[in-house]
Amino acid sequence: MAKARRLKPPEIEEIFRRFHDIEPEPKGELNSVNEFTFLVAVVLSAQATDMGVNRATSALFKAVDTPEKMLALGEEGLRDYIKSIGLYRAKARNVIALSKILVEKHGGKVPGEREALEALPGVGRKTANVVLNIVFGEPTIAVDTHLFRLGNRTGLAPGKSPYDVEKGLLKAIPEKYLRHAHHWLILHGRYVCKARRPECWRCHMADICQFREKTPAPV
């Protein structure tokens, strides 16, 4: 497959203008009740679907919505709630450990600094970016498999690594659209620009996208 040409600034501006026109205030699909439960949901979502995480946390977040309550629940109790999620044992261990740090070092609050977030067990750059963007409104972009594919396939931000794509997107996307860019792109990659069969016939950026093997509409 030929490498996509990097899109030009006016083309990128037009793509995000269309995103904004279609959905001015995009929303994520992970359920939570506050900043702490959102952090927990994002940690649990690693290598799992949002739908699967929501099923597991539906009962959990009714009973536990603070790090103090999570510590009282304990690792074994948490495992009982989330055992339907992949890697649940390791994730339970991380959630209990991060809850302890939040209580001891941050007054039970989710910190708004990248360094403090990435110091939490189970929180890497991608998770920190999601929290900074959704909870604190920072113009960050968390590059998962969907965004990595989208950046390379469309020509928005070709790169060899997720970090390359992240840097490319942050540089290319007009500042006025950065706040919601993460949500627009992840939802587009999840439901339209799919890995195996992208639904190009209903894509709002198909006329600009550099992907050559456009998928025709089903007959």
Return the active site residues: 126, 144
Measured in degrees and rounded to the nearest 5, phi and psi for residue 148 equal: -65, -45
Whole-angstrom distance, CA of residue 148 vs CA of residue 166:
8
Instruction: Please check whether residue 193 is in contact with residue 150, taking contact to mean a CB–CB distance below 8 angstroms.
Output: yes
If phi over 0 gives left and psi between -120 and 50 gives alpha, with beta otherwise, what is residue 47? Answer: left
Structure tokens given for 203: 């894509």
Measured CA to CA, the distance from residue 21 to residue 204 in angstroms comes to: 11
CA distances 15 to 7, 38, 202, Å, are 10, 29, 14
Does residue 180 contact residue 26 with C-beta atoms inside 8 Å? Answer: yes
Q: Which amino acid is at 105?
A: K
Confirm if 70 and 78 have CB atoms less than 8 A apart: yes
